[in-house]
Chain A
Amino acid sequence: MAEETWQHYKEKKHSRPAPLKGIRVLEVCTLILGPAGPGFAAEMGAEVIKCEIPPMGDTCRDLTPFGYFFREQGISFVHMNTNKYWLGLDLHKPEAQEVFKELAAAADIIEDNLRPAVMENWNVGYRQIKEINPGIIYISKNGFGQWGQYAEENRPSNDGASQGFSGYSRLSSFPNQPPLKSRLYICDNYGALMGELAILAALHYRQRTGKGQFIELSQTEAIMRAMTWVWPYQQITGKVAMPAGNRDVSVCPADTFRCTDDNFVAIAAPAPEEFRGLCTAMGRPELADDPRFKDHLTRLKEDNATEILKIIAAWARARTPEEIEKLAKKHGFAASHIWNTREIVEDKHFRARGFMTEVDDPILGKYFDHEFPVMMSKTPPKIKWGCRAVGFDNEYILKHTLGKSEDDIEKLYDCGALGKWADVPTRRPPSTWDGKAGLREV
């Protein structure tokens, strides 16, 4: 039974192996589309070595809400750079490129999110690395891929550009209002996730055949893939898919309704028993047999949908979200008030499952964050530590992983191939750092 499978899941998480144990990833990424992917891999147990150009490193270190810093770090950066090892490597320098190649020779995966051919100009592109490691799985993620008009024009991209380009934002707004940008960096994060999907499929293929490969991922193509009905709808009808605010035009009823005191509730009740339950809850059981609403396809028709949503809106307007949630539970349809972050952080269910997980970081201290959202009964993914300063693990990686001597390392520092953080907040460790915590024994 499920109780047995998941008993003490949260408590035993840290004593169980993670699924990608033994996989080594080299990351040459900045901002979100790039680093979020290896972040997922690291939470699944891969050994991720994040290469940053010293002394400033990843631009994402600067991004943080309204300029707020946590232990002198940007909190977007803390969130998506978990469980990584930190190497300050200036890939412009030939000596650094050699270090990278030595690491690549024993790596499984390389991820970059630079413009096309930048890695190749640094002598560490796919064509160069596959000569020393034919099994390498090498992914480049960016706005427009490696070839085609926009890639040739070397256009920059980022999440907001991708939300715009794909039509995603237009569809996420209200009719006759300007297009609305999602609060999430959805095209970055979703592109990153789709990147890991392809990497893991390639890893499965390599497990069978020993063969590696190159993967290109455009974040705009990835989000367009998720926009399902929009494309066949436009092809078949010749019409433009239109925004519909909070109403789901494929599920009826499904919308967000205003309640008393300017509160809101989301309701969904499309299946026959759910719709009947909602009608009963509204004290209007006869609506379930009304010819306009009798089955889902009929109810979805524009006029009928408008009508039933109007009826529900009038009913919801005089109630609180909590009343409606209770009725939903009783009558078997779906309803939820509009949750905010405080509720997510403090929710008992999320805590009990370990989704809101407490990270105990030797440098950053204790904090709660979102755990990797796939719970795996035998190999739980988990956050073990947060972000580090630029080049924080240089000595560990060069000595432990590559077996370099003190002399070799000194030479690499001298020529600027290797470097550490700039002495500014967001790049250096927190000022409370004792010079030892978080460093790995060599």
Chain B
Amino acid sequence: MEQRWPDWIRERDDPRIAHTKPEALDDITVLDLSYKNFAGCYCSSMLSEFGAKVIRIEPPQGDFIRSCTPYGMLYKGEGLNYLSEGRNKHHITLNLEKPEGRAILKSLVKQADVLIETFSPSVMDGWGIGYEQLKEINPGLIFASITAHGQFGPLKQNPMPDYDNITQAKSAIQSATGEVLPKGKSYDECPWAVPTKAGPWIGWAQPGTFMAVGILAALYWRGISGEGQALDVATTESYARFDDYAALWYQETGIVNERFGNLDTACWLYCFAPTRDGAVFLGGLRLEMWQAFADMVGKWDEWGAASWTTLQTFMREEEQLKWAPLIFAETRKYTSEELVRMSVEYAQKGRLAPITAVVAPVCSPDEPMKDANWLDRGIFTPVKDPVYGEVIVAQAQHKMSQTPIRTRWVCQPVGHDNEQIYSEYLKFNPAKLAQLKKTGVI
């Protein structure tokens, strides 16, 4: 190969040239009716980044999710989560509670490939626009529903609204995440040593992504068979699907996976360790890497690293609890940066080089935005939005040589595209739109 691989591929997938390339899904039209549910909104973002034409259909007062914003903060009238997930979407309003609104929806459905909705099960059916009704007018339609409990099963009629923190609680993930209550202490003394939820809205983003994967698989199938279908994601199931070995472990041993702080039930060496100025992640999933760590902190002889023969014994609970404080006593002697550097240097001249332990900084969220590596890779390149100006949202996470994703705009106000979309799809003229607005249909 004449050209180095990283240079060759960068010439082809650098986000800076994304706008010169075609888009994977630019033949697909998506109607996003999701309401009060970020999973639906994020799902349609996953498709609009690949170039699908996504028409968000909001009630005339706008989607409640726009008001779900940290500390109630608005930027130019917009909530910050929505500012990130309105991306590349066309925004129209339509009142589905009115028969006239539903008739308009049906006309749009005839021209769409995918419909995403998040109403309680039976709401769409009750309105006469459920899957069985809509497939009559568009047999190729992919009808995607995201709800707390799904479209069938004993809890189908439970109308519990779907929220991220509820999904995290109900998926058994929260119960297994968090600091362990120190022996002899109570929750009054340690209110932080409790089952702990993770991340900003991962319990919504993850089911939204799963549904986007399902939609694309259904599109592939439609390409083969010509048939559309209905898809059903229950957010709790979706998030629980990432719970790895937990179900199998319980069935076979009766053990319920519990909180284990910053250690890991199934891996060694694998933990967050305190440092003089913060914390680092330590990883050494092969015996030699764990030995390299012991060597790096000067404990090769004292810990008897040369005599270790397998990692499996270290994975046991009692062994982990014995070793963790010994390790932390060492890592506390250094700053995070020193430990990262020690691991890099060990790879060059350590006893077991090039083998070394993974040592990574545990960053504060402002650090990635300043990190030259991520800036170079285009993750935080500001989007020049015609309405909101220069806005930084995470983007360009899929680098692709033929059909890279891109963010053309970040968001639009409620009803921004009413004229354009209704004229393009349904040939409504301004007089008709004015009348629909007056009667509260749009």
Q: Say whether A and B bind each other.
A: yes
Among A5, A158, A193, chain B packs the most CB atoms within 10 A around the CB of A5
Evaluate whether A180 and B286 lie within 8 angstroms (CB atoms) in the complex, with A148-B377, A214-B9, A298-B72 already known: no
Q: Please tell me if the beta carbons of B166 and A193 are within 8 angstroms of each other in the complex.
A: no
Asked if A86 CB lies within 8 Å of chain B CBs, one says no
Establish whether residues A337 and B211, one from each chain, have CB atoms under 8 Å apart when the complex forms: no
Decide: A167 and B363 in contact? CB cutoff 8 A: yes
B368-425 interface with A by 8 A CB criterion: 368-369, 372-374, 376-377, 379-380, 382, 391-403, 405
Is B194's CB under 8 angstroms from A254's CB?
A: no
Would you call B216 and A200 a contact (CB within 8 A)?
yes
| Distance A170 CA – B366 CA, assembled complex (angstroms) | 10
A376 and B199: CB pair below 8 A?
no
Max chain B C-beta neighbours (<10 A), residue from A31, A186, A251, A302 = A251
Given A250-B201, A335-B166, A339-B169, check contact A163 B213 (CB 8 Å): no
What's the least CB distance linking B174 to chain A, in Å? 6
Q: Which residues of A contact B199 (CB under 8 A)?
A: 168, 171-172, 182, 186, 226-227
Q: B364 contacts which chain A residues (CB < 8 A)? A: 167, 170, 240
Please, how many angstroms separate the alpha-carbon atoms of A214 and B14 in the complex? 12
A167 touches B218 (CB 8 A): no
**CB within 8 A of B161: which of A334, A349, A371?**
A334
Q: Interface extent on A, as a size class?
A: 35 or more
Contact digits for A1-32, partner B, Cβ 8 Å, 1 yes 0 no = 11111100100000001011011000000010
Q: Kindly report which residue of chain B lies nearest to residue A41, judged by CB atoms.
A: B217
Interface centre among A31, A171, A205, A271 (most CB of B within 10 A): A205
Q: Report the separation of the CA atoms of residues A162 and B238 in the bound assembly, to the nearest whole angstrom.
A: 21
Residues of chain B contacted by A5 (CB below 8 angstroms): 131-132, 151, 230
Name the residue on B nearest A375 (C-beta): B232
Contacts of A419 in B (CB 8 A): none
Question: Is A433's beta carbon under 8 Å from chain B?
Answer: no
Q: Are A172 and B194 in contact (CB under 8 A)?
A: no
Whether B195 contacts A251 by the Cβ 8 Å rule is no
List which B52-87 residues lie within 8 A (CB) of chain A.
64, 67-75, 79-81, 83-85
Assuming the A-B contacts A174-B192, A179-B279, A228-B84, are A66 and B363 also in contact, with contact meaning beta carbons closer than 8 angstroms in the complex?
no
A27 vs B391: C-alpha distance when bound (angstroms): 38
Assuming the contacts A221-B397, A226-B206, A341-B243, asked whether A157 and B151 have C-beta atoms less than 8 A apart, the reply is no
Measured in the bound complex, the distance between the Cα atoms of B313 and A215 in whole Å is 39
Contact size class for B?
35 or more
* Interface membership of chain A positions 273-301, coded 1 if the CB is closer than 8 angstroms to chain B and 0 otherwise: 01000000000000000000001111111
Q: Please give, as numbers and ranges, the residues of chain A lying within 8 Å of B6 by CB-CB distance.
A: 116-117, 146-147, 151-152
A336–B195 CA distance with the chains assembled, in angstroms? 13
Asked whether A201 is an interface residue with its Cβ less than 8 Å from the other chain, the reply is: yes
The answer to whether A271 touches B201, judged by C-beta atoms less than 8 angstroms apart, is no
Query: Do A256 and B243 form a contact, CB below 8 Å, given A66-B265, A67-B313, A150-B373?
Result: no
What residues of B have a CB within 8 angstroms of the CB of A217 in the complex?
397-399
Q: Is the CB of B245 within 8 A of A221?
A: no
Tell me if A369 counts as interface (CB < 8 A to partner B): yes
- State which of A185, A268, A344 has its C-beta within 8 Å of the C-beta of B165: A268
Q: Chain B nearest CB: distance from A230 CB in Å?
A: 5
- Of A90-98, A231-239, A388-396, the one touching chain B: A231-239
Judge if B162 is at the interface, Cβ distance under 8 Å.
yes
Residue from the list A78, A196, A266 in contact with B174, Cβ < 8 A: A266
A65 within 8 A of B: yes
A58 to chain B minimum Cβ distance, whole angstroms, is 11
Whether B40 sits at the interface, judged by CB under 8 Å, is no
Question: In the bound complex, what is the Cα–Cα distance between A190 and B209 (angstroms)?
Answer: 9
Q: How far is the CB of A300 from chain B (nearest CB, A)?
A: 3
1/0 contact string of A321-357 vs chain B (CB within 8 Å): 0000000110011111111111111001110110110
Q: Which residues of A contact B103 (CB under 8 A)?
A: none
Interface pick from B221-229, B301-309, B431-439: B221-229
Measured in the bound complex, the distance between the Cα atoms of B9 and A231 in whole Å is 27
8 A Cβ contacts from A154-175 to B: 156-158, 160-174
Q: A148-B376, A214-B400 are in contact. Are A63 and B247 (CB under 8 A)?
A: no
Closest residue of chain B to A60 (Cβ to Cβ) is B285
Q: Is B8 part of the binding interface, using a Cβ–Cβ cutoff of 8 Å? A: yes
Checking B195, B252, B272, B313 against A169 with a beta-carbon cut-off of 8 angstroms, the contacting residue is: B272
Flag B33-46 by CB within 8 Å of A: 1 or 0 each: 00010000010001
Cross-chain contact B248 with A367 (CB below 8 angstroms): yes
Give Cα distance in the complex from A215 to B192, angstroms: 41
- Which residues in window 142-171 of B have CB below 8 A to A? 148-156, 158-166, 168-171
> Which 4 A-B pairs give the minimum distances between C-beta atoms?
A374-B214, A167-B365, A300-B72, A200-B216
What are 10 inter-chain pairs, A to B, with CB distance below 8 A? A2-B152, A167-B366, A190-B206, A194-B397, A198-B405, A224-B397, A235-B382, A241-B366, A341-B175, A341-B249
Given A9-B152, A232-B84, A246-B197, 20 more pairs with CB closer than 8 A = A20-B220, A147-B14, A149-B373, A165-B363, A170-B363, A172-B199, A181-B271, A185-B242, A202-B403, A211-B402, A229-B81, A248-B201, A256-B194, A270-B163, A296-B64, A301-B71, A328-B160, A341-B243, A341-B249, A375-B150
